[in-house]
Chains A and B, each alone.
Chain A
Amino acid sequence: MKIEKVGIAGFEGPGVEIAYIVAGAGYPVAVWDADKQALDRGKNAFNQFVDRAIESGTLEKEKKEQILSQLTSGADVTLLKDVDLVIESLSDDLDLKNKVFSDLSDVVRTDTVLATTTSCHSVTEISNNATNPERALGMHFLKPLLERKLVEVVRALNSSQETIDLVVDFCSKIGKETVVAKDSPGFIVNYFFVPYMNQALNYYDHGLGDKKGLDTALKMGLGYPKGPLSLIDQSGLNDHLHLTSQLYDRLKDPLFAPPPILKRMVDGGKLGKKSGQGFYKYDENS
């Protein structure tokens, strides 16, 4: 079998970006989201991606109609009954993902591949809610999705090799590179990245460096795209708190323990760029 038609469950945040990437590669995409308001917001965001891509010259103007016509969306899950692959990109709540995998199994064909985009939960646990766990796995897209080339294809305990191969091949068709990772907490990237970010937050909290010095040194000295504090401002302090808390719960390794400053800032409403302030201040137009 080949992947010819793709379904996406969840039309917020990464779901919109994934829909754009997959549609942009020429695949028909069916997006399901039970929340009608989320669907409207998602459609608007999707249109904005298309317009911005045309403005920046990454997309030809003539392709606009084509991309928009490839997208169907709705609040009825049977919309996904014909797809070959469903990419689940709902908010990172384990109970929700477990339930949706079970619900999706009732709708899709037995050979349809179910992929979860979770970054911090057990892919094996989620996969085993599917009727056919050998057709389930993880597809962890790295943020920012349009910029980073990587997808970690996560092998759940019961994923079949055929399913892995199918998804690796699909990723290359949508312009992504892959590594096949074990279903171990944090997979590969976050297993290294989360302790690094926590170390930076603690280092700053302990007064060992000022913001600019820390960010400049790590950016210039190690060639990283951003310093840690400006990076977490961009991605959201609450998202990192969620990620590191979940991983800490599973690993009980102090390197993953949520740094006190992170909790403090999230409690104080300083979530980063999206709330106007994190470690740095942002005005609405930036």
Chain B
Amino acid sequence: MSDQEKSVGVLGAGTMGSGIAIVSARAGFKTILVERDKETLDKGLDLIDRFFVKSVKKGKMTPEQKDLVMKKNLIGTLKYEDLTDCEFVIEAVFEDLETKKQVFCQANEVCPPETIFASNTSTLSVTSIAADSGRPDRTIGVHFCLPAQVMKLVEVTRGIQTSDETYDRTMEFGKKLNQVFVTTVETPGFILNHFIVAFNNSCIKAYEEGLASVEDIDKAIKLGLGYPMGPFELLDYIGMDTQLQVSLALFEQVQDQRFWPPPLVRRMVDAGHLGRKTGKGFYEYKGAGMFGA
């Protein structure tokens, strides 16, 4: 947990932003977590704190290290002005093109020219986001996997205008973050979502059509293929609202039926059965916290 020289900004304190902030602060970066909504910010900081409490309990860090990370490295704020010293600004706001463009525009006004803007988009075009960021050559895609605080993999994707220098500095940054950065081609969904969105939709569709029960499909996939989670356990973690949104975003770009959300997705979203976060999805849950330690 060495001290890194540069600061990292994270935009958005939702599940993904909080997870990325954990990775950054844990790697020793001064991490500025920016959120426009006070309540969301406090909730995010609380989740992060609870995550590190678990890390201490499991012996993954000492109480002193936790204090250092929480009190010195991590700064929650509502102001973009606090981003002025950041070498990297990673946005993890709502997966919507306009929202992402808008937060980068705001950051562009306060950040120095050398700051790299990294988008955590999973399904949108990096080139589109970069085009309106105010610095297209210094904008790149860095897609962390859910749950970011546990998964080591990050997909790095260059937009058409991303410069070689930006790419090289990003790959360097990956090493300092202790993450595995894999380069992908800019194609909708990159690698992971190209596969997992289609896979999960095929499972939902088959369940809806009566192939087998939720429990049996999960059991078959886990024990038959050695996957760590069954598709429905994973969907409950991801959230059905997110599944709907990424499915639509991918379908719109490629018009491939594999990405079209099966009708059950919308029904569950309409009913508020979003998964863990609402206490009910394909399974029922009591109490919510952050994954891993």
| Residue positions of A touching B, CB distance < 8 A | 142, 147-150, 152, 177, 179-182, 184, 188-189, 191-193, 195-196, 199-200, 203, 207-209, 213-214, 216-218, 220-225, 255
Find out whether the CB atom of A188 lies under 8 angstroms from the CB atom of B229: no
Residues of A within 8 A of B206 (CB): 191-192
List the 6 closest pairs (A to B, CB-CB), nearest first: A150-B223, A223-B228, A189-B224, A220-B153, A188-B220, A150-B224
- Distance A168 CA – B196 CA, assembled complex (angstroms): 31
Find out whether the CB atom of A193 lies under 8 angstroms from the CB atom of B187: no
- Distance A123 CA – B31 CA, assembled complex (angstroms): 58
- Closest chain A CB from B32 CB (angstroms): 26
Find out whether the CB atom of A181 lies under 8 angstroms from the CB atom of B212: yes
Find out whether the CB atom of B225 lies under 8 angstroms from the CB atom of A217: no
- Distance A274 CA – B171 CA, assembled complex (angstroms): 36
| Residue positions of B touching A, CB distance < 8 A | 145, 151-153, 155, 180, 182-185, 187, 190-192, 194-196, 198-199, 202-203, 206, 211-212, 216-217, 219-221, 223-229, 231, 258
Find out whether the CB atom of B224 lies under 8 angstroms from the CB atom of A222: no
Most interface-central of A150, A207, A217, A221 (chain B CB within 10 A): A221
A selection of 19 A-B contacts at a CB cut-off of 8 Å is: A148-B224, A148-B225, A150-B224, A179-B212, A181-B220, A188-B220, A192-B202, A196-B199, A200-B195, A203-B191, A207-B185, A209-B184, A209-B185, A213-B184, A213-B191, A217-B192, A222-B192, A224-B226, A255-B258
- Closest chain B CB from A50 CB (angstroms): 24
- Known: A188-B220, A222-B196, A255-B258. Contact between A208 and B180, CB under 8 A? no
- Distance A217 CA – B189 CA, assembled complex (angstroms): 12
**Nearest B residue to A227, CB-CB:** B191
Q: Of A182, A199, A213, which contacts B183 at CB under 8 A? A: A213
Find out whether the CB atom of B191 lies under 8 angstroms from the CB atom of A217: yes
Find out whether the CB atom of B226 lies under 8 angstroms from the CB atom of A195: no
Find out whether the CB atom of B182 lies under 8 angstroms from the CB atom of A213: yes
Find out whether the CB atom of A223 lies under 8 angstroms from the CB atom of B229: yes
Find out whether the CB atom of B182 lies under 8 angstroms from the CB atom of A222: no
Residues of A within 8 A of B220 (CB): 150, 152, 179, 181, 188-189
Residues of A within 8 A of B152 (CB): 220
- Closest chain B CB from A195 CB (angstroms): 6
- Distance A224 CA – B224 CA, assembled complex (angstroms): 12
Find out whether the CB atom of B153 lies under 8 angstroms from the CB atom of A152: no
Residues of B within 8 A of A189 (CB): 220-221, 224-225
- Distance A199 CA – B153 CA, assembled complex (angstroms): 21
Find out whether the CB atom of A152 lies under 8 angstroms from the CB atom of B180: no
**Nearest A residue to B234, CB-CB:** A222
- Closest chain A CB from B134 CB (angstroms): 29
- Known: A182-B211, A191-B211, A216-B182. Contact between A221 and B151, CB under 8 A? yes
- Distance A217 CA – B152 CA, assembled complex (angstroms): 10
**Nearest B residue to A143, CB-CB:** B224
- Known: A142-B224, A150-B223, A191-B206. Contact between A199 and B185, CB under 8 A? no
- Known: A179-B212, A223-B229. Contact between A217 and B224, CB under 8 A? no
Most interface-central of B198, B202, B212, B227 (chain A CB within 10 A): B212
Residues of B within 8 A of A181 (CB): 212, 216, 220
Find out whether the CB atom of B211 lies under 8 angstroms from the CB atom of A224: no
- Distance A191 CA – B191 CA, assembled complex (angstroms): 21
**Nearest A residue to B155, CB-CB:** A217
- Distance A106 CA – B188 CA, assembled complex (angstroms): 57
Residues of B within 8 A of A149 (CB): 223
**Nearest B residue to A196, CB-CB:** B199
- Known: A182-B211, A217-B184, A225-B226. Contact between A196 and B153, CB under 8 A? no
Find out whether the CB atom of A177 lies under 8 angstroms from the CB atom of B219: yes
**Nearest A residue to B199, CB-CB:** A196
Find out whether the CB atom of B153 lies under 8 angstroms from the CB atom of A217: yes
Residues of B within 8 A of A191 (CB): 202, 206, 211
Q: Of A180, A208, A225, which contacts B185 at CB under 8 A? A: A208
- Known: A179-B216, A255-B258. Contact between A192 and B221, CB under 8 A? yes
- Closest chain B CB from A197 CB (angstroms): 10
- Closest chain A CB from B127 CB (angstroms): 16
- Distance A58 CA – B155 CA, assembled complex (angstroms): 39
- Distance A184 CA – B220 CA, assembled complex (angstroms): 15
Residues of A within 8 A of B203 (CB): 192
Find out whether the CB atom of B155 lies under 8 angstroms from the CB atom of A188: no
Residues of A within 8 A of B198 (CB): 195-196, 199
- Distance A121 CA – B135 CA, assembled complex (angstroms): 57
- Known: A192-B202, A192-B203, A196-B199. Contact between A221 and B216, CB under 8 A? no
Find out whether the CB atom of A147 lies under 8 angstroms from the CB atom of B226: yes
Find out whether the CB atom of A208 lies under 8 angstroms from the CB atom of B226: no
- Closest chain B CB from A235 CB (angstroms): 12
